Chains A and B, each alone.
Chain A
């Protein structure tokens, strides 16, 4: 009944509205005011754009001051503030401030944090880890070998469900961990595993004196007020609002410059952009669409860095036509990467063309593979050889990804040149993932995916091993599979390089995954902050060492 009344009211309102032309004028005026207000910003920002290019880079006049608070945006509460369980970007970013790693290995060097050194034995079956002297937890207790042993034993305990367990299993068998003295721990491997060293370094120890005796580490209340070893310690957490951390005076890397770091929960990306523009945030990842908003603004320092991610297209080998290698190669030759980069990312400044299934920051990455440079004649020739003059294929992707949608539209156009009719199937994220991770589903023939597999090349093996649940193509190559095992036990770097380069060549020759682009992360940082180079921009956590950031005046 009530609704009917409302309906009548509205129609009466509508009647008034129609009858009176003055109203129309008013509405139009209002719309004009609002749109004028909108366009106003771009006018204001345009001149700033030109000045910014000249002042790129660190400005010299600024002086470093003590204190200040750096504010990050996170899109949800942290999951479990315990490094044994952090698998998502938000929690990993927070844990990076709270918990220090043992050491960090990248393609160039190893940087030591809690660890003083790591030494493999001559037979590579045991590793000796030495901790730095005088290390302290946030509550003042010393960090010792007992904490390391406790951390690793907890990870290896299946009932604790830590996802890091794989780091300490070699061929399914656990690594043995022994305390030698207060600052020395020895790890014994059941068999040689070269990647073990970098996997060990990434471990962020948890304090034994806090967690000892806890039945379920993930559900422990201790995680709500974590005691860590990183540059900032826990101060206050308000669910849905913020997490505040304050300076840890006794941080082993030297007293941090900032008073604290704060993580504010902002789930809506537009709101987060506004908050950043409004000075309520200090830094944020932005998309290529938003570049103009920030690069034209002198209050922000823009930086790009390699996220270590490969965006790719997966071929489903249960499709009959795609079982034919020539068809896959024809598709690869018919795709013009330059057009895709220009159309989706503007230029190679924001995404590099990808030629291998490894990313450039992975060890032993090579471009010495079949690059499938755009070649329409060759593509047509291969299609003819395979005996297809026209072909219908279905391409699935996540409907919320603008990037993937753009890839799809461009490829649809390009592949029509060789007689392939590409049907685009955008799917809700959950629905897509559910189908995608099961290589036997036949709902689509091609799909877009992106992965970050890390520094060590052996990390890529689950994607290509026959029968592995992470092999989304249903790819089987009996010649390739044993090579992954060989790579893990080869201790001579030159020979290892040979193995992994050959692996990349074989996969690219089989063309089961089409590498599209290595997208870069773009961050806009409040220009009042310095020390960005020393703090190192890195994938996932944005900064490697937050203690190096400082405020300027």
Chain B
């Protein structure tokens, strides 16, 4: 087990380096230039050249990359080109909001997805199942920004139940206020995962219900609910671990959109602004952090899987 984890951890290093090279290249190849933010009409070409030189943008791209990599290995992610603050501090400020939103959404979608999927399978082809099927079908296909706007429209503008934006009301410091602000972003970020998890649980429960052991239990006189919650759930829940790993990319990218729409002060919002202002050091740092979250998430789900199902460990 420990060997597996160590092996997988070591594998992430070349992966991260590859990601950093590709993103560095992509960012540099994209049209536009951070110097645009510094130029005023009073500046002559020499001033512009001076700023470019000061920012180190005149060096060849591989020199720039190696300099960046060296600094990162020393733990120095550099300064933002726009607000001149250390990148690491900015990420640290934003990380809690993003991790908070993502983990709430993950837990919420697991709980709701599993319950709904199980009930749906237990009531196969009855009204409840059909409604769940329809809603999960919608949940998978609805674009999250549209869903977000609809929620804001209904819950904030029409019913005046929830605040439409931000994380806290100005001047209010209660937990309840924080929860009220978090409801809509969490819903938006969860909807797709809930739908996917519910579908998985439903179909794996249905196939489990046809297994011989269920028939044996039924014949032995066990109640349907007992079988469902004691035995079937355990087996049906297994694929959810894989979905967790799979749903991480959509969570990370979903966070970018959700945070922008709801003004949630997380990394996603920071990333969007950084991209629009060509803030190279910040874009690189956010890309690397997001990749790290993804890789660690996948690693975690692999490890969990082999814990739950020892056959997988043997395969490795």
A396 to chain B: which residues have CB within 8 Å?
none
Task: Give the residues from 257 to 287 in chain A that come closer than 8 angstroms, CB to CB, to chain B.
Answer: 262, 264-268, 270-272, 274-275, 277-278, 280
Contact with B along A73-100 (1 / 0, CB 8 A): 0011111100001011000000000000
B83 to chain A: which residues have CB within 8 Å?
77-80
A428 to chain B: which residues have CB within 8 Å?
31-32
Interface stretch of the complex, out of B13-21, B61-69, B89-97, B286-294? B89-97
| B57 at interface by CB-CB < 8 Å | no
A22 to B266, CA, bound (A): 42
| A410 at interface by CB-CB < 8 Å | no
Contact partner of A267 (CB less than 8 A), chosen from B137, B199, B273, is B273
Known: A161-B51, A463-B41. A268 touches B157 (CB 8 A): no
Contact with A along B59-90 (1 / 0, CB 8 A): 00000000000000000000100111100001
Q: Which residue of chain A has the shortest Cβ distance to B125 in the bound complex? A: A16
| B150 at interface by CB-CB < 8 Å | yes
Q: Which of B83, B97, B242, B266 has the most CB of A within 10 A?
A: B83
Contact partner of A262 (CB less than 8 A), chosen from B54, B94, B170, is B170
| A388 at interface by CB-CB < 8 Å | no
| B261 at interface by CB-CB < 8 Å | yes
Interface stretch of the complex, out of B161-169, B219-227, B228-236? B161-169
Q: Which residue of chain A has the shortest Cβ distance to B148 in the bound complex? A: A271
A274 to chain B: which residues have CB within 8 Å?
149, 152-153, 156-157, 164-165
B90 to chain A: which residues have CB within 8 Å?
239
A437 to B158, CA, bound (A): 47
Interface stretch of the complex, out of B42-50, B106-114, B209-217? B42-50
Q: Which of A16, A23, A267, A463 has the most CB of B within 10 A?
A: A267
A166 to B40, CA, bound (A): 9
B134 touches A23 (CB 8 A): yes
A240 to B271, CA, bound (A): 11
Task: Give the residues from 120 to 169 in chain B that come closer than 8 angstroms, CB to CB, to chain A.
Answer: 130, 133-134, 136-137, 140, 149-150, 152-154, 156-158, 160, 163-168
| A21 at interface by CB-CB < 8 Å | no
Q: Which of B85, B150, B261, B263 has the most CB of A within 10 A?
A: B263
A224 to B84, CA, bound (A): 11
B165 touches A469 (CB 8 A): no
Task: Give the residues from 451 to 503 in chain A that come closer than 8 angstroms, CB to CB, to chain B.
Answer: 453, 459, 462-463, 469-470
Contact partner of B44 (CB less than 8 A), chosen from A27, A69, A469, is A469
Closest Cβ of chain B to A214, distance in Å, is: 12
A172 to B278, CA, bound (A): 30
Interface stretch of the complex, out of A5-13, A50-58, A299-307? A5-13
B85 to chain A: which residues have CB within 8 Å?
219, 224
Contact with A along B273-312 (1 / 0, CB 8 A): 1000110000000000000000000000000000000000
Closest Cβ of chain B to A93, distance in Å, is: 15
| A37 at interface by CB-CB < 8 Å | yes
A165 to B44, CA, bound (A): 12
Contact partner of A429 (CB less than 8 A), chosen from B32, B44, B263, is B32
Q: Say whether chain B's binding surface is mostly helix, strand, loop, or mixed.
A: helix
A277 to chain B: which residues have CB within 8 Å?
157
B1 to chain A: which residues have CB within 8 Å?
none
B264 to chain A: which residues have CB within 8 Å?
240
A262 to B117, CA, bound (A): 45
B263 to chain A: which residues have CB within 8 Å?
241, 264-268, 271, 275
Contact partner of A433 (CB less than 8 A), chosen from B32, B84, B157, B273, is B32
B149 touches A37 (CB 8 A): no
B32 touches A264 (CB 8 A): no
Closest Cβ of chain A to B235, distance in Å, is: 15
A495 to B38, CA, bound (A): 35
A470 touches B273 (CB 8 A): no
B36 touches A278 (CB 8 A): no
A16 to B129, CA, bound (A): 11
Closest Cβ of chain B to A236, distance in Å, is: 10
| A163 at interface by CB-CB < 8 Å | yes
A9 touches B134 (CB 8 A): no
B163 to chain A: which residues have CB within 8 Å?
278, 280
A453 to B42, CA, bound (A): 11
A215 to B149, CA, bound (A): 47
Q: Which residue of chain A has the shortest Cβ distance to B168 in the bound complex? A: A241
| B265 at interface by CB-CB < 8 Å | yes
Closest Cβ of chain A to B6, distance in Å, is: 25
A22 to chain B: which residues have CB within 8 Å?
130
B277 to chain A: which residues have CB within 8 Å?
76
Task: Give the residues from 165 to 202 in chain B that come closer than 8 angstroms, CB to CB, to chain A.
Answer: 165-168, 170-171, 196, 199-200
A277 to B196, CA, bound (A): 35
A278 touches B153 (CB 8 A): no
Q: Which residue of chain B has the shortest Cβ distance to A3 in the bound complex? A: B246
Q: Which residue of chain A has the shortest Cβ distance to B167 in the bound complex? A: A241
Contact partner of B82 (CB less than 8 A), chosen from A9, A79, A239, A272, is A79
Closest Cβ of chain A to B105, distance in Å, is: 18
A65 to B84, CA, bound (A): 40
| B270 at interface by CB-CB < 8 Å | yes
A507 to B170, CA, bound (A): 51
A interface residues with partner B (beta carbon < 8 Å): 2, 5-6, 9-10, 12-13, 16-17, 20, 22-23, 26-27, 34, 37-38, 40-41, 69, 71, 75-80, 85, 87-88, 158, 161, 163, 165-167, 169, 218-219, 224, 238-242, 244, 262, 264-268, 270-272, 274-275, 277-278, 280, 428-431, 433-434, 437, 453, 459, 462-463, 469-470
- A-B residue pairs, 6 tightest by C-beta: A430-B32, A166-B42, A240-B265, A431-B31, A241-B265, A275-B165
| 12 other A-B residue contacts (CB within 8 Å) besides A20-B130, A69-B170, A434-B32 | A5-B239, A23-B130, A75-B273, A77-B83, A219-B79, A241-B168, A266-B165, A268-B261, A272-B165, A274-B157, A278-B157, A431-B32
Q: Offer 29 A-B interface pairs, CB within 8 angstroms, sorted by A.
A: A6-B196, A6-B199, A6-B200, A13-B199, A22-B130, A40-B158, A79-B83, A85-B84, A161-B38, A163-B42, A218-B84, A219-B84, A239-B94, A240-B266, A240-B269, A267-B272, A274-B165, A275-B164, A275-B165, A278-B157, A278-B165, A280-B165, A428-B31, A430-B31, A430-B32, A434-B31, A434-B33, A459-B41, A462-B42
B interface residues with partner A (beta carbon < 8 Å): 30-33, 36-38, 40-45, 48, 50-51, 54, 79, 82-85, 90, 93-94, 97, 130, 133-134, 136-137, 140, 149-150, 152-154, 156-158, 160, 163-168, 170-171, 196, 199-200, 203, 239, 242-243, 246, 260-266, 269-270, 272-273, 277-278
